[in-house]
Amino acid sequence: MSEAPGTDPQPRQPPAASGPPAGTRPARYPRTANGLIGSLIVTVLVILGFVALRSCTSDDLEVKPEPVDYLATVADAQAGGYRLVYPASLPDGWIADSIDFVPGDHPAWGIGMLTDDGKFVGLRQEDAPLDELLHTYVDADATAGDPVDVSGSVAPTWRTYSDAGGDHAFAAEVGRDTVLVYGSASVADQRELLALLSTAKR
């Protein structure tokens, strides 16, 4: 079909183009070093705030030491021919939480204990000079005190020592070995342990 003469056809509009208007570009995030550092700082602050909040709202976890069966080690050592000094029992509330037994030609034996109020007491038995053991386990400048008698212990008389930090120690010769009881526990607590020391067969 032809168009009527004298009439102009309507111009066709081009379809609308999709996307942003001409001459404009999508906005871009400014990826600069300062922007990266800023975001890292914010992240760290958020983490620190979370940790601080948890520390304020949660109860502190109490880590209790695990007791060790030192008497079983004593029995095994005795079966192997070793003569160890050990507490036949511990005072109420005490635990033994570490042991150290070195067999051989120069055996060494030790127990680490905690009193009922969490103070440390150590026992060391070794064929070594007393000065060497004091230097290692107490203080190089430990001060000697008056000797004390302990009835029923493995030695009737014990030499006493203390250091400037408040630690105390008791020493005696048992056979060829030096036995040292030492630590931050009170003199009374350590003397209580001395009375419990034995070499009896388990």
**CATH number of the domain bearing residue 128:** 3.30.200.100
Residue located via tokens 């067969």: 201
Query: Is 65 a domain residue?
Result: no
pLDDT tens-digit series, residues 32-81: 666 666 666 767 676 777 666 666 655 555 667 899 999 999 999 999 99
**Full-model pTM:** 0.70
pLDDT given at position 1: 45
Residue 9 has pLDDT above 70, yes or no: no
Per the domain annotation, does 182 fall within a domain?
yes
Exposed e or buried b for every residue in 64-73, given b needs 16+ CB within 10 A?
eeeebebeeb
| Assigned domain for 5 exists | no
The reply to whether 112 falls in a domain is yes
CA-based angle 77:81:84, to the nearest 5?
50
> Which tens digit of pLDDT belongs to each residue from 153-180?
999 999 999 999 999 999 999 999 999 9
What is the C-alpha separation between 24 and 45, in angstroms, rounded?
Answer: 38
In a domain? residue 37: no
What total number of domains does the chain contain? 1
Domain containing 135 equals: 70-198
